Chains A and B, each alone.
Chain A
C-alpha cells in the first residue's frame, strides 16, 4: 500500500511540474495582456511536435530539440501577440476568440504535417530511480527538474530584473505603467514569448512520455483553466500551488477510482471555487 501511495505521489509531482509550467505561462499572458489564450494547449502541442520533428525524424539530440521547441513556440507566441493580441488590445473577448481561431490553425497544421495518429517517440533517456519500491524514470525526473529550474528562473526574473519589474507593473496597471515610460509593446512581446515558450518546453519535455496527437491540447487547456481559476486568474504563485493541489487530487482519484471521475472532481472543484471565491484561493482583487 505504501508503495502505491508513494508511486502515486511521484506521479502527482510529475503532473504538477509540467502543468504548472503551462498554467504559469497562461497566467503570465493573462496578467500582462488581460487576454485568456485559448490556444495555449496548442502551443504545448506545438512544443511536443517540435521534438517529434527534430528528435524523432531528423535525429537531433533530445535536448537540442527541446531548446528548439522552446524557441519555436516562443516565436509562435510573438506572432500571436503581434498579429492578434496587439490589434485587439482593447477588446479582450476579441483576443480570446482570435486565439480560438489560432488554435484551429495550429491543430490543422499539425494534422497536415504529421497526421492524426499518435506519434511515438523512442525514449531519449533510459533508466530510472527506485525509491522504496516506487519508480521514477529519468525522463520524468528531467521534467520535474526542468520545471523547478524554469519556474525559479522566472520568479527571479520577475523580482530582480528591470524588465521583470516593468512586467509586473503592466500587470497591475497598464496605463500607469505606460505613463512611466514602459513600452507596452515590448513588455507584452516579452511576456508572450515567455508564456508561450513555457508551454512549448512543457510539451517538448513530455513528448516522449505522452505520445503527441494534434488534439492533445484540449485536455491540457481544460486542466490549465481549472488551475488558473483555482489559483486565482493573474496570480503566478497561486497557479503553482493550484497545479500541485490539482495534480495530487486528480492523480489520486485516478489511481483509486477512475479517470473520468477524476476529471469530474477537478471541474467541480473549479466550479466550487468560482461560486464561493471567484478570485481564486489566492487572488485578492477583482479582475473581470
Chain B
C-alpha cells in the first residue's frame, strides 16, 4: 500500500518537475534562456561522463570527445551540406568512432595511466585541430556553422525554441543512458569497476565492455557537442581544452558519481550558483577560485557529493513521515 503511494508521489513529482522544465523559459530573461540551453547541453555531457566512469576509468579527454562531435557535425553541415539534424547524428557517431579507435591504445592502461593517457590523446586531437587550417580552421576554429533548420514557423535561432529541442533530445538521451545503466550491460560495467579480475574470470570480456562504455559515452558527449556547435555557431580548439574538462569533473564530483542523478544535480546546482548568485554578486574573476574551493571541500567533506546530501535529506524526511522500516536496504554502495 505504501509502495503505491510512494509510486504515485514519485510520478507526481516527476510530472511537476517536467512541467517546471517546460515552463522554465517563460519565466527567464533572454540571457538566462541562453544559459538554460547550455545547461541542458551540459547535463547530457556530464551524464554521458558518468557512463564512462561506471567502468571505473576517469577520462580527461571527455570534453575533447564532445569537441569531436561538434567539429564533425559542423563540418558535415558546412562543407558537405548535410542537413543539420542528420549531421548532428553523424557528428555523435564520429565521436563514438573516435572513441572506438582510441580504445585500442587507451585501454591498455588503467587508473592514473588511463587518466594521463586520455589527457594526452585529447591534447593530440586538439593540437591537430589547431595545426590544420583545412578543414579545422586552425586556432580560430570554425565559424558560421549553419544553425538548426526552422520547423515550420518556429525559429530555432530563438534560445527558447532551441531549449525545447535540446530538452527533447537530452531527455531521450538520458532515458537511453538510464536504461543502459539498469540493463545487464550496466551491471557488467559495475562489475568491471569493482572486480575486474573476477568479472574476467567468469567470462566477461573486460576490454570489450570498457570499449562499449567509452563508445556509448562518447556518442552522447559528441551529441552534446553537436547541439552546442549548431547553437553557438562557432567552435575553436580552446573551447574544448582541459579547463572545460575540469568543470565537468567538478560537476560530476560535487554532485556525486554514485548514482545516475548525482552528476546532473551537480551541474544544475553549480550552474545556478554560478550564473545567478555569483554573477549577480559580481565576483566574475574570482569565480574559478570559488569553484576550486567547492571542489576541494566536496572531496574532503562530501565523499558522496550533493546527491549524498539529497539522499540523507530524503531519509530524514521519510523517517519523519513513516516509521523506519525494520530492514533497511543499502543504497547501491
Contact = CB atoms under 8 A, between A and B. Distances in A.
A275 interface: yes
Contact of B112 (A36, A88, A260): A36
Contact of B296 (A84, A225, A264, A275): A84
Q: Which of B115, B127, B242 has the most chain A CB atoms closer than 10 A to its own CB?
A: B127
A233 B109 CA distance: 13
Interface string B46-71: 00000000000010000000000000
A100 B249 contact: yes
A278 B113 contact: yes
A247 interface: no
A92 B111 CA distance: 10
A226 B295 contact: no
Given A101-B295, A101-B299, A274-B113, A264 B127 contact: yes
Interface in A77-107: 83-84, 87-88, 92-94, 96-98, 100-105, 107
A267 B124 contact: yes
Given A100-B295, A225-B116, A88 B300 contact: yes
Contacts of A97: 249, 253, 295, 299
Contact of B292 (A96, A103, A274): A103
Interface in B161-206: none
Interface string B108-144: 1111110111011101100110110000000000000
A103 B292 CA distance: 7
B299 A225 contact: no
B314 interface: no
B288 interface: yes
A94 to B, nearest CB: 5
Contacts, number: 115
Interface of B is mostly: helix
A5 interface: no
B124 A105 contact: no
B107 to A, nearest CB: 10
A235 to B, nearest CB: 14
Nearest to A275: B105
A112 interface: yes
Given A87-B300, A101-B292, A258 B131 contact: yes
A101 B296 contact: yes
Contact of B124 (A101, A271, A275): A271
A98 B291 CA distance: 11
A260 B292 contact: no
B246 interface: yes
Contacts of A226: 120
A268 B58 CA distance: 20
Interface string B265-304: 0000000000000000000011111011111100110010
A264 B121 CA distance: 10
A27 to B, nearest CB: 13
A79 to B, nearest CB: 12
Given A112-B285, A274-B108, A98 B300 contact: yes
18 contacts: A36-B116, A88-B300, A92-B112, A98-B300, A101-B292, A101-B299, A103-B292, A104-B292, A105-B292, A229-B116, A264-B124, A264-B128, A267-B121, A270-B120, A274-B108, A274-B109, A275-B109, A278-B108
Interface of B: 58, 105, 108-113, 115-117, 119-121, 123-124, 127-128, 130-131, 242, 246, 249-250, 253, 285-289, 291-296, 299-300, 303
